[in-house]
Structure 1
């Protein structure tokens, strides 16, 4: 029974499913229904479609997902394994079906050139295809992690630049949205040339003050206390263009 391809197919789907780090996801009825449908779909396909794919052929091709192995090289090697002769379309469409399965990602276009160069080098040296696939899978994993870290760093730099630009707008006297100065707990905004400060309170609310300038030391004029910045923003939008009493704000 353990040699039945259907057993391995079900085992592969369940193995991918339990890789989820979220117990809530694993126990979610919708997620369970989806994995059940995936199993039925795979078994139905095994009983009818993709009849050329047996044993090692299926496993080898699936291991090549995301590695940018040329289809011709895959077809040439797969046709040496037991089973009916495969065409280029057989291999290309079976590979596409694997890429569309749950928890599988399409090949990363940014890694295509690197994968093809590494494949050509190893092929010229006479490396067997399964070994090349393993090498490329490791390469893809490393490069995707590198790209992920580079993306994070670019995002961090972009956020820092936006923060500095927001501070400059605030300090220059221009109208601006809620902005922090450094890591101070107070937030400032300016509308119609008027400066407002939000200060967090011990009961997790926000005090809104009208102030002369961005300064935590200025007492300012209390406008009200609000549950969130959104509520304070609505108030500022209403009062910023209303007539304001001629008074010297408390310092």
Structure 2
């Protein structure tokens, strides 16, 4: 009886060993089929510094009056003063645009002698007009946007915004950066393949990252997941990434 049990135990052990070997071997086969399926992946990048070639300066001026007619007459005079200021600073006619005039009635709160609120009553009209200067002469517009003393002394309540800076050849620059980032990614693929004794096969996939156009010398914290287009700085840096995936041979 003891001999019979020993034989059974030996058979169970042998079968278990075969099963384990079979499972282990199957795992190796599966690894060989799928382990290299992801191929070789690398991300390349390219960047360049550039100067803006277009500036946009916006501003607005407002007046207050008792009647629409009187208020309109006042803002028309202010618009003429603003236009004269721009012309005297060599801003061409086609570089300046004046928007339509916005008008709104204003109200003041009324209270009785004991401080009880009685309601609102009209107290006049506010008129506002905007102007935009667009030019390739960045130095000129920067200077006149900073020095509006003449207008203020003339009584024009001009609210000046910070200039915006753009680059008109951005599409051409993007294509050049994509080409360079792709070449950079392919070089990394080749180096990685050579380091493992293999060679890259066919291209499996390629993806383009978002463009990051930031102020020059800004930190990576300025980057955005959706990309960023800085308009506040004259000097900028553009950056793009390209991700390539090749099969391995």
- Asked if these proteins are the same fold (TM beyond 0.5), I'd say no
TM-score (norm: length of structure 1): 0.24
Structure having the higher Rg: 2
TM-score (norm: length of structure 2): 0.24
**Greater helix proportion:** 1
Higher relative contact order (CA 8 A, sep 6+): 2
